[in-house]
Chains A and B, each alone.
Chain A
Amino acid sequence: MGKNIGVYICDCNGEISKTVDVDAVSIFAGNQDEVVVSRVPNNLCSTDGLEAIKKDIETGKVDRVLIAGCSPKRYDDLFRNAFEKSGLNRGFYLRRNIREQCAWVHEDKDIATEKAKLLVKSGISELKLCEPVQEIKTKMGRTSLVIGGGVAGMSAALDLAKNGFYTYLVERDEELGGRAFNVSMTHPTTECGICCIHDCRDCVLTPKPEEVYCNENIDVMLSSEVVDALGHVGDYTVNIKGKNGALRAINVGTVIIATGYKPFDPAKIPEYSYDHKNVLTSLELEKLFLEQKPSRTGVRRPSDGKVPDTISFIQCVGSRDINKGNPWCSLVCCNYAIGQAKSLKKMHPETDITIHYIDIRASYRGFEEFYNEVLAMGVKFLRGRVAEVQKLNDDLQIICEDTISGDPVQTKADMVILSIGMEPNEDTKRLAEMFHRELSEDGFYRDLNLNLNFSPEARTGAFLAGCAQGPKSIRYSIADGKIAAGLAADMMRKGYILAEDTLGIVDEDLCGRCRICVSLCPYDAIKLEEIEPGKAIAKIDPAGCTGCGVCGAACPTGAILMSQFKDDLIYAQIDALSEEV
């Protein structure tokens, strides 16, 4: 097949042309071997820009396309899909970045232009050697595994089941429900759509454990944990350890990780005297709320059972605190503290309640109004991070500075409530490795895998829901579960997936069976295959391989090559880049 290369240089609305002489680059490209078209269409990513290229493809003028413009991370799908529709194989489309790598980093026009020429030249030399990308069809199991039976996990499982996908739900605890089932209210605002007459457990909008247990499409495994998993998107074999240590292996196509969070341990901040009986975390206060609910006796302070005259809330315990806690905002604590203050005020109108805060983050619909309502009820808000909670026998004393007035503050409190924040759950890292997801610096799951320049879900079949992905409220955790279920269902519906063959390939004639590659693959895609008794060579499963290149770098024989990044292609680029233009 002839190589008719079209080179299209983008001026990016002046962004590129202000530092790169795009016409000179275009003339230069036009003079290279096998380049039949070289043009500077205005604004390539616009409809007009694209149409011009598509026409060249459709009329058969060009059969390989090089775009020199912005970063290939931008508009890649747009270009690919547009060209593919015009009949160009994905393997014959390449990008070179002359915006971020030339125009934006150089001031000297000559230098930027020379560099752009070099990059274009390397692209042309790569394009000459490119091979078409093939699509391969691989297995996609139609069952799913949800890990974690909190509100997020339950809502995901119910939605999957409703859509006809058999779902395993693995919960570490003895019952479903997660943390939300130990709180008395679901962010009790009048406008959130959640009435707050009931416990969260009974609320119409919360997914119910009973519903999950009764669903014939859901297999609930309580007191169970994932031991290990082998495989990849579409085909995971997962070992689960049940109640009495019994092991069970299941095969699933997708996984939803909904393992929630771990509350911050306030003992890490000794100044807050968490070891004192009358210093409670907000979760412990929730327990008191729930305990008194049948009798409606109100909250009593733990040490002596008296109705507290003064209660102080301390916000941001473990959150927004780079010295003793975590840098992030836990998002829900302002709101639940306001809710708890309101409940307390209703129970004990005489009680003096102060919320010590840094800023009040009353985001989400209805919360600002809710904050104002509680303010009107007489709950006090005092700005400034609390320095210390001193113990005075049964009582406590708060030391802080009112940062609005600048005055030092010393107030007594019968009870202190610590508004603790959220941290990543213990198992997060282990599960991330198992299902090929990455963690962010904060330890929660990362939305995007940095080493996969595309949707991590598509490559891993592992979805995230709820607080496993970062702090959120119950409502949004439930919504998250629904989204993850929808995406997973979409993926499983067809029963197969189409993947591009941009992956590692083992040359069977060269594999020396050293096994260096096998355990290195981060996606468990390398298996051993017996070619004769006792001789097993490495074999890459195209369904699992993401083309990351780890094995190719490790293989000492050169048996493994990346199908779209073969050595000759890379050498050709190096040669092009090291010549003068």
Chain B
Amino acid sequence: MEKLKLALYWAASCGGCEIAVLDLDEKILDVTAIFDIVFWPVAIDIKYKDVEAMPDESIDVCLFNGSIRTSENEYMAHLLRKKSKILIAFGSCAHEGCIPGLANLSNRDEVFNVVYLDNPSTENPKKITPKTSTKVEEGELTLPEFYDTVKTLDQVVDVDYYIPGCPPPVKLISDAIDAIAQNNLPPKGSILAPLRSVCDECKFERHEKKIKEIKRVYEVEKIEDKCLLEQGIICMGPATRGGCDARCLDANMPCTGCGGKTPNSPDQGAKMISALSSILGVEGEEEMTEEDVDSLIDQVIDPVGTFYKYSLPSAFINRRPLR
């Protein structure tokens, strides 16, 4: 049987997704048995022009990781879409925007300012920041345009499947590879992960949930053997799609939400906020003053970073207003 053609690409991402593929261990041999890797910038020496030269839809499967934050990312998304039969948003950045997406709380100028000008380890007296075009003696140098707003892959091109996670758990990757190999993929648009939330895979015992205060992990002296939410720690598990075997919980750390929203949920952060506000301070609710309620809520340090750590670009409200 002829091998399937596989492409892997990284856009705005940390590189963890690439490592996750290598994490497959000996399963990587299956991958090479089934696939010919035709494009994978991190591993093989191949140029964009080679991809441009490929016939349309000649790549069987493309695992695209990273969000879209530059014109280069966007160009490659379009290019790989055209060249691939199946385009998979691989990992949280491509799926929901992830950490790079938190940049939607600021804009290009502010990002450049922090990175190139106003930070203690940078010396930049000429105040040079990246420009899309720079004239030098030898001619014109160009750089991709850096956008104000980070987007998910499916906000730019049509996406066939999603593999969630930051990075995707090995089990989900290997299940996806098996499904591809056996031509056993679910309907287009599916997320290749279980339907239920992280709680479903979590080891902790759970009981009634009515909580009085919120604590950060370091404020809890000893983690008890019960649901972290019940101990006052914000755990995004209930609002997050499982498939990770609740590994963070295994290590007594709360879920921070990288699996993205659950099937019927339009907005992961909103769902969690709604759930948390349903159980926070419900006892004695009637006696509470506005100030009491405010001070309860003020215990959530960094709300966007807590509830939208991985999903800001795909949320209902997906960025700070630009003006």
Contact = CB atoms under 8 A, between A and B. Distances in A.
Centre residue among A510, A516, A554, A557 by max chain B CB count within 10 A:
A557
B163 interface: no
Contact of A520 (B196, B238, B239, B279): B279
B196 A550 contact: no
B263 A554 contact: no
A227 B208 CA distance: 20
A509 interface: yes
A535 B200 CA distance: 8
A515 B207 contact: yes
A509 B196 contact: yes
Choose among B198, B207, B262 the residue with the greatest number of A CB atoms under 10 Å from its CB. B262
Nearest to A552: B274
Contacts of B229: 514, 516
30 contacts: A509-B195, A510-B197, A510-B262, A512-B196, A512-B200, A512-B237, A512-B262, A513-B200, A513-B206, A514-B206, A514-B227, A515-B206, A516-B229, A516-B278, A516-B279, A518-B209, A550-B278, A553-B278, A555-B271, A556-B238, A556-B262, A556-B265, A556-B275, A557-B238, A557-B263, A557-B264, A557-B271, A558-B264, A558-B271, A559-B262
Given A510-B264, A514-B237, A519-B209, A555 B275 contact: yes
B1 to A, nearest CB: 35
A285 B236 CA distance: 65
B306 to A, nearest CB: 14
B199 interface: yes
A577 B95 CA distance: 30
Nearest to B206: A515
Nearest to A559: B264
A513 B274 contact: no
Contacts of B237: 512, 514
Q: Is the interface of A mostly helix, strand, loop or mixed?
A: loop
B215 interface: no
Interface in B41-90: none
A568 to B, nearest CB: 10
Contacts of B282: 520
Given A556-B238, A556-B274, A557-B262, A510 B209 contact: no
Contacts of B195: 509-510
Interface string A487-529: 0000000000000000000010111111110111000000000
A202 interface: no
Top 3 A-B pairs ranked by shortest CB distance?
Answer: A558-B264, A512-B197, A554-B278
Interface of A: 507, 509-516, 518-520, 535, 550, 553-559, 561, 567
Interface residues of B, number: 29
A486 B245 CA distance: 57
Contacts of B199: 512-514
A570 to B, nearest CB: 10
B208 A556 contact: no
B272 interface: yes
Contacts of A520: 278-279, 282
Contacts of A515: 206-209, 227
Contacts of B278: 516, 520, 550, 553-554
B284 to A, nearest CB: 13
A559 B200 CA distance: 13
Nearest to A509: B195
Interface in B238-271: 238-239, 242, 262-266, 271
Contacts of B208: 515, 518-519
Contacts of A513: 196, 199-200, 206
B261 to A, nearest CB: 8
A509 B262 CA distance: 11
A525 to B, nearest CB: 15
A400 B237 CA distance: 69
Contact of A554 (B207, B227, B275): B275
Given A518-B208, A557-B196, A512 B238 contact: yes
Contacts of B266: 558, 567
Nearest to B239: A556
B198 A512 contact: yes
B210 interface: yes
A509 B242 CA distance: 12
Nearest to B197: A512
Given A515-B209, A557-B238, 7 more contacts: A507-B264, A511-B196, A515-B206, A516-B278, A520-B282, A556-B275, A557-B262
Nearest to A519: B208
Interface in B187-205: 195-200
B60 to A, nearest CB: 30
Most buried by A among B197, B237, B263: B197
Given A509-B195, A554-B278, A516 B264 contact: no
B121 to A, nearest CB: 40
B57 to A, nearest CB: 33
B265 A558 contact: yes
B207 A516 contact: no
Nearest to B273: A556
A556 B209 contact: no
A553 B197 contact: no
Nearest to A518: B208
Given A512-B242, A515-B209, A520-B279, A556 B198 contact: no
A559 B262 CA distance: 9
A557 B209 contact: no
A518 B282 CA distance: 13
Interface string B23-39: 00000000000000000
